[in-house]
Amino acid sequence: MIEVSDLTKYYGDREVLHSLNFSVATNKICGFLGPNGSGKSTTMDIIAGLLGPSSGSVRVCNYDVLTQSKEVKAHVGYLPDNPPLYPEMTVFDFVNYSAKLRKINASARELAVKNILEECDVVQVSNRLIGHLSKGFRQRVALSASLVHKPSVLILDEPTEGLDPTQIVLIRQLIKKLAKERTVILSSHILSEVQATCDEVIIINHGRIATKLSLQDKSHRSGYVYSFACPIDQALSWFQEQSFVEQARIYPAKINSISVDFSNDFWSKSQESLDGLSKVTEQIVAKGFPLVGIEQKKDALEELFFDVIRSQPNAVL
């Protein structure tokens, strides 16, 4: 659906993207993760046809963004980080205007606008001025406008930026719903956002792809934290000796706790169930270690993100 090859972009003499290569398959949600100024928005602008690449090629739905820009734009819905909204227009007028710009013919337009307003849950504010809406609603209105022509690719640049937690959950649900019928690329520097929404993640830093990973891949499954009633040197040694443990270390955020990452082999044998974990727990208890709690680590991606960013040249973390 989206194929990016050797994409490079210069702003003057400054190289902002360096030979990016990646592809996103149909009906997948791909997350772009990276610190501010890493090149996420520039990459999205190029994929959406708003910016031209300095070199390399980008193909969207088999159309080249440089030579077939109109076709690409017809297949792409783009929501920039700063949603392009006219505060003096009503929601309906704005989405209708967007539909006209997309050359949806008059007979189909009214139905298309009505459907997308319902899908994005903004029908109740359709006659209100955009300038009078909350940020969450404005984001939904901008999303409606970018979806009115039923694009097969949706590009969202930091779609939950500045929203309150309730609105974030709602937008997240909406994105997941929309992704059932289309390919979605979204950028964020909120790690939990990407973890909760995306199928795959591209971590980008200083204009280079630092790593690509699939969140469905078991190798990036969250580790577990084992907490004990007293100091745990023996338990730590025991974990480190086990073949099914990839890494075991002291978990500094919690007293007398060990962070354990299990190997891929362990997960494949466990076959999605908790059998493996139960057996490990039985063994710990049998060894007489004073186990008081087990919990899943929520920040596996966060750890990975910071590891990747730290390992990059010019790291500041």
Partner 1 sequence: MSVTMTIAQREFKSFFGTPLGWMSACILFLVSGIVFYIEVLMMLRSGQAVDPMSDILGQILNFLNYINIFVIPAFTMKVMTEELSHGTHRLLDSAPLHPWSIVCGKFLGVMFYFGVLGLLLLVYPSYSFIFSEPDVRVLASGWLGMMLNTATIVSIGLFIASLTKNPVLSYLGSTFFIILFLFSGFIPGAPEWYKHSANILDMSGEFTKGIIKTGTIATFIAIILIFLFLTRFVVESRKWRV
| Footprint of partner 1 (CB under 8 A) | 11-12, 48-52, 69-71, 73-74, 76, 78, 80, 82, 84-86, 88-89, 97-98, 100-103, 145-146
CB of 72 to partner 1, least distance (A): 8
**Of residues 63 and 262, the one with the C-beta less far from partner 1:** 63
CB of 301 to partner 1, least distance (A): 29
> Is 142 within 8 Å of 83 (Cβ atoms)?
yes
CB of 129 to partner 1, least distance (A): 8
CB of 78 to partner 1, least distance (A): 4
Gap between the Cα atoms of 306 and 59, Å rounded: 31
> Is 66 within 8 Å of 52 (Cβ atoms)?
yes
CB of 70 to partner 1, least distance (A): 4
**Of residues 185 and 235, the one with the C-beta less far from partner 1:** 185
Distance of CA 216 to the CA centre of its chain: 13
For helices 91-101 and 106-119, the axis angle rounded to 10 degrees is: 130
Sequence-ordered alpha helix ranges (H) in the chain: 40-47, 69-75, 91-101, 106-119, 135-147, 165-178, 191-197, 233-241, 264-270, 275-287, 300-311
CB of 210 to partner 1, least distance (A): 24
**Of residues 83 and 223, the one with the C-beta less far from partner 1:** 83
Strands 153-157 and 183-188 turn out to be parallel
CB of 137 to partner 1, least distance (A): 17
**Of residues 37 and 84, the one with the C-beta less far from partner 1:** 84
**Of residues 45 and 199, the one with the C-beta less far from partner 1:** 45
**Of residues 100 and 128, the one with the C-beta less far from partner 1:** 100
Gap between the Cα atoms of 150 and 74, Å rounded: 9
**Of residues 82 and 216, the one with the C-beta less far from partner 1:** 82
H helix and E strand count, the chain: 11, 14
Distances (CA, A) of 19 to 15, 47, 50, 251: 10, 14, 19, 37
Sequence-ordered alpha helix ranges (H) in 179-299: 191-197, 233-241, 264-270, 275-287
